[in-house]
Chain A
């Protein structure tokens, strides 16, 4: 959800800001960051098992690519779609890197769990359901990458299913069916958490 913009920039589209930045206006990039950085950090943390450091790295890499390829953006899709695609790919890369590192450490020590190591740093907000949140995070982490991204994206920052489908490049019907299947799977694994 977009936060209130400074005076004069509220009605400027993301694509216009990107175009200004490509022509040398650094403030335009700041305005884009004001609109998206917090939301991107939230999604990245959700995809990276609440690891804030990895989330910051993923978002910074996203901004680097935005800066690098600002001239190449062709507006075939919206800027919002584009930036979320980048951050999802960066989260995937970091996740794979962590997994390879964990396997390497496991081989070296001939111990350690087969799954990803617990987050190095977490910043769990105080919540009434901290334990259930933890368990949910664990179950989400066990999902395969595609279903995990689909699930978190559909419940991120007020995204509509249409927006999520556009980002993931899926037909709307396919997205809904997969989402339903994933939710069913989660509910099956966490029957205690379901309260009607």
Chain B
């Protein structure tokens, strides 16, 4: 409570802050200046709660930004493999070439792998004419090329499972053909199948013809790796090693009475030569198998959705499929937008936190200023 004034000073102080005139109605002037007159009836839109309007506006902005920033490839159909156009004509040319080469001694008709048993040494002694004769024999004729063939075929078929089962039957076990790998996933429109077939090079064309009958050829690619030089080098190295083996065996026979140390040394050398021969023969067999059996990669898929919607005069089915496709697309959009928002929010936390702290500080300071009347 205020203490009663002890003197006129305090009473005069009270009079300093008195206003004895009528109130001039300054509040009305302020109201006219600050707030324009409002209409009696508010717009129906403005009747909605402000929070709902703000939330709807934010959602619309977020969806717009999300659609604008979505990568264009996100919503496209799964990318098809970058195959070139079906190269049937090229394959025909190459097939012709293969047919010609197949008339020559077949790739598998290499010299039979030698056993470890020694051959008569005399027959293998070098003669002056022998190296040239062997060179002429070793050098392949221009048409006798050794090619590792790889074919990739993509087929579209409505019944992937049936085509897969039929493709498994194409390799002929009697000819040494086999299924190297096979896989089958999904059902119905999501079914996918892949097979890797090893087909005899001389029967490749026939096998490809059988495959083409399983569905529509979407893509076909053929590659050939020429390993003729490797084969020639391998043959030359093998002959050289065998000659050395024969010479060592001859030496061992002729010098049976040599000191034991010398004999042991010769035998060690002989073992090394034999080891090299076996390695070369293994490599030769491996390359032989690669050349003799072509690798055919078969990919089986259902035809794209666009094809499925083009039904003959079935407008209702088209409508249903279009709705289904639109629903799926919209769902993908929603998922991608949600993912984008999560990425932006989580990835930008290092910025959001300081920004939020700064904004919170500014808001608090402004509120404090309002409370203190510093406005």
Task: Specify the chain A residue showing the minimal Cβ separation from B366.
Answer: A72
The distance in angstroms between the C-alpha atoms of A157 and B246, with both chains bound, is: 131
For residue A136, CB closer than 8 A to chain B, the reply is: yes
Q: How large is the interface on B (under 10, 10 to 19, 20 to 34, 35 or more residues)?
A: 35 or more
For residue B16, CB closer than 8 A to chain A, the reply is: yes
Task: Specify the chain B residue showing the minimal Cβ separation from A42.
Answer: B19
Please report which residues of chain A, range 154-170, place their CB below 8 angstroms from some CB of chain B when the two chains form the complex.
154-161, 169
The distance in angstroms between the C-alpha atoms of A77 and B372, with both chains bound, is: 9
For residue B72, CB closer than 8 A to chain A, the reply is: no
* Shortest distance from the beta carbon of B368 to any chain A beta carbon, whole Å: 9
The distance in angstroms between the C-alpha atoms of A128 and B2, with both chains bound, is: 24
| Given A158-B2, A183-B9; A136-B16 close (CB under 8 Å) | yes
Residue of B14, B21, B27, B374 ringed by the most chain A CB atoms within 10 A: B27
Task: Specify the chain B residue showing the minimal Cβ separation from A32.
Answer: B27
Which residue in A37, A45, A82, A193 is a CB contact (below 8 Å) of B17?
A45
Q: Which residues of chain B have C-beta atoms less than 8 A from A74's C-beta?
A: 367, 370-371
Please report which residues of chain A, range 105-144, place their CB below 8 angstroms from some CB of chain B when the two chains form the complex.
123, 125, 127, 129, 132-133, 136-137, 140
| Given A46-B17, A76-B371, A156-B17; A132-B35 close (CB under 8 Å) | no
* Shortest distance from the beta carbon of B125 to any chain A beta carbon, whole Å: 112
The distance in angstroms between the C-alpha atoms of A161 and B21, with both chains bound, is: 26
| Given A41-B23, A156-B17, A157-B17; A193-B12 close (CB under 8 Å) | yes
Q: Which residues of chain A have C-beta atoms less than 8 A from B21's C-beta?
A: 123
Mask, B1-45, CB within 8 Å of A = 1, is 110001111101111111111011111111101110010000000
Residue of A24, A64, A158, A159 ringed by the most chain B CB atoms within 10 A: A64
Task: Specify the chain A residue showing the minimal Cβ separation from B372.
Answer: A85
* Shortest distance from the beta carbon of A78 to any chain B beta carbon, whole Å: 11
The distance in angstroms between the C-alpha atoms of A24 and B24, with both chains bound, is: 23
Task: Specify the chain A residue showing the minimal Cβ separation from B29.
Answer: A60
B16 touches A152 (CB 8 A): yes
B373 touches A86 (CB 8 A): yes
A161 touches B12 (CB 8 A): no
| Given A160-B1, A196-B6; A125-B25 close (CB under 8 Å) | no
For residue A97, CB closer than 8 A to chain B, the reply is: no
The distance in angstroms between the C-alpha atoms of A155 and B29, with both chains bound, is: 29
Give how many A residues have a beta carbon under 8 Å from the other chain's beta carbons.
69
The distance in angstroms between the C-alpha atoms of A157 and B370, with both chains bound, is: 24
Please report which residues of chain A, range 9-33, place their CB below 8 angstroms from some CB of chain B when the two chains form the complex.
24, 26, 29-30, 32-33
* Shortest distance from the beta carbon of B76 to any chain A beta carbon, whole Å: 49
Task: Specify the chain B residue showing the minimal Cβ separation from A93.
Answer: B374
Residue of B10, B17, B23 ringed by the most chain A CB atoms within 10 A: B17
Which residue in A26, A89, A129 is a CB contact (below 8 Å) of B31?
A26
For residue B375, CB closer than 8 A to chain A, the reply is: yes
B27 touches A33 (CB 8 A): yes
Q: Which residues of chain A have C-beta atoms less than 8 A from B367's C-beta?
A: 72, 74
Please report which residues of chain B, range 342-375, place their CB below 8 angstroms from some CB of chain A when the two chains form the complex.
367, 370-375
Q: Which residues of chain A have C-beta atoms less than 8 A from B14's C-beta?
A: 155-156
The distance in angstroms between the C-alpha atoms of A87 and B15, with both chains bound, is: 18
Mask, B322-360, CB within 8 Å of A = 1, is 000000000000000000000000000000000000000
Task: Specify the chain A residue showing the minimal Cβ separation from B371.
Answer: A76
Q: Which residues of chain A have C-beta atoms less than 8 A from B15's C-beta?
A: 125, 127, 133
| Given A63-B30, A67-B31, A88-B373; A193-B8 close (CB under 8 Å) | yes
Mask, B161-198, CB within 8 Å of A = 1, is 00000000000000000000000000000000000000
B34 touches A68 (CB 8 A): yes
- If A63-B30, A183-B9 are given as contacts, then 14 extra A-B residue pairs at C-beta distance below 8 Å, sorted by A number, are A26-B31, A37-B27, A60-B30, A63-B29, A67-B34, A84-B373, A132-B12, A133-B15, A137-B16, A140-B16, A156-B17, A159-B2, A169-B372, A193-B12
A residues whose Cβ falls under 8 Å from a Cβ of B: 24, 26, 29-30, 32-34, 37-39, 41-43, 45-46, 50, 55-56, 59-61, 63-69, 72-74, 76-77, 82-89, 123, 125, 127, 129, 132-133, 136-137, 140, 151-152, 154-161, 169, 183, 186-187, 190, 193-196
B residues whose Cβ falls under 8 Å from a Cβ of A: 1-2, 6-10, 12-21, 23-31, 33-35, 38, 367, 370-375
29 CB contacts below 8 A, A to B, read: A29-B27, A30-B28, A37-B26, A37-B27, A41-B19, A41-B23, A42-B19, A56-B24, A60-B30, A63-B27, A63-B31, A64-B34, A65-B373, A65-B375, A68-B375, A72-B370, A76-B371, A85-B372, A89-B372, A125-B20, A132-B12, A137-B16, A156-B17, A169-B372, A193-B7, A193-B8, A193-B9, A195-B7, A196-B6
